[in-house]
């Protein structure tokens, strides 16, 4: 593949990234309770799509891991609040210790829930949302993160689809 032929691949990725950003900025997703500005979640999920193997199965594993990351985060926040009333400063660290052990064990759970890196990225997105979005709730954080996750997974899917089609054209 020549440099001229190669450059089309990065242009495809850039165009898909532009579409993701336009969708976020124009509120096409219509998540009215939280507004816009969560395209970064899509870009993380897009990267996870590639880390999980660039397949529809990898997309499902990523989606599941993001959802489990949100659920684990909710458990940590609830348990941490409860334990903080007993342990003070160590309430949240203890909640993390308690929750992270079964989370890590998921890597041995089978092929649909074993993508632990995606779980941590989903949890990080959830904690970020809860920390910085005024009026954040467990529900609107989870729904927003999962919608933007789907957008990122679609971006990953279309990246592979368009690039594969382009490479097929070149090989003729």
Residue 118 resides in a domain: yes
HSE-up of residue 63 (Cα within 13 Å, Cβ side): 16
Distance CA 46, CA 54 (A): 9
pTM greater than 0.85 (yes/no): yes
In which domain, by residue range, is 43 found?
Answer: 3-26+39-171
Q: At what angle do helices 91-105 and 56-87 cross, to 10 degrees?
A: 150
Residue 57 resides in a domain: yes
Per-residue pLDDT at 35 exceeds 80: no
Residue 64 resides in a domain: yes
Structurally, the chain folds into a number of domains equal to: 1
Distance CA 31, CA 115 (A): 27
- Residue 142 CA: distances (Å) to CA of 82, 91, 125, 164: 21, 23, 9, 33
Residue 34 resides in a domain: no
Give pLDDT tens digits for 81-140: 999 999 999 999 999 999 999 999 988 988 888 999 999 999 999 999 999 999 899 999
Residue 79 resides in a domain: yes
Q: Which of 29-38, 68-77, 108-117 has the lowest mean pLDDT?
A: 29-38
| CB distance 142 to 123 below 8 Å | no
Q: Binning pLDDT at 50, 70 and 90, where does residue 150 land?
A: very high
Residue 33 resides in a domain: no
Distance CA 158, CA 86 (A): 50
By CB atoms closer than 10 A (0-12, 13-18, 19+), residue 128 is: middle
């Amino acid at each position: 593949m020549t440099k001229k032929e190669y450059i089309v691949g990065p242009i495809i990725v850039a165009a898909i990234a532009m579409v993701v950003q336009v969708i976020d900025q124009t509120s096409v997703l219509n998540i009215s309770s939280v507004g816009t500005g969560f395209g970064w979640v899509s870009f993380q999920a897009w990267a996870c799509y590639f880390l999980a193997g660039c397949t529809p199965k990898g997309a499902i594993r990523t989606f599941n891991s993001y959802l489990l990351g949100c659920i684990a985060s909710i458990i940590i926040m609830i348990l941490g609040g409860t334990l903080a009333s007993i342990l003070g400063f160590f309430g949240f660290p203890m909640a993390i210790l308690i929750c992270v052990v079964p989370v890590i064990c998921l890597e041995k759970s089978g092929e649909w829930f074993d993508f632990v890196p995606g779980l941590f990225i989903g949890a990080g997105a959830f904690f970020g949302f809860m920390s910085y979005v005024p009026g954040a709730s467990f529900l609107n954080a989870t729904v927003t993160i999962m919608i933007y996750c789907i957008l990122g997974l679609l971006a990953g899917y279309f990246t592979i689809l368009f690039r594969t089609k382009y490479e097929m054209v070149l090989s003729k």
